[in-house]
Amino acid sequence: MSDHGHEWHIASLVVRHRPEAAGAVAATAAGTDGLDLQLQDTTCSVLLQEGDGTRGLMSSIELLQAVPGVLTVNLVYHHVESRSDIDAVPGQIHQECTG
């Protein structure tokens, strides 16, 4: 079943890596659509993945796992929101503000 376009996926990933891999993890995040580096220290990085399906999420996980020096990539949070609910929010906010 394809979820492309009908859902919005938000996930957080914790990547444990060797100190020398920190730059490559950051570069992988910078070069991957929907993947953003949120926090990084010497051996641990926290990334946020947003996109319209699980395919992009799985692709990001695979890319990070392939970085030399990466020890683990853990999915610690995954939320799915329907596009119709997201699209309804601006109208709901406007209605609440204008009474």
Count of helices and strands (H, E) across the chain: 3, 4
In a domain, 37, yes or no: yes
The count of structural domains within the chain is 1
Q: Is 34 left (phi over 0), alpha (psi -120 to 50) or beta?
A: left
Q: pLDDT digits over 76-90, tens only?
A: 999 998 877 667 666
In a domain, 89, yes or no: yes
In a domain, 2, yes or no: no
Name the residue range of residue 94's domain. Answer: 7-98
pLDDT at site 3: 45
Res 11 pLDDT > 90:
yes
With a threshold of 0.75, does the pTM exceed it?
Answer: yes
**CATH at 29:** 3.30.70.920
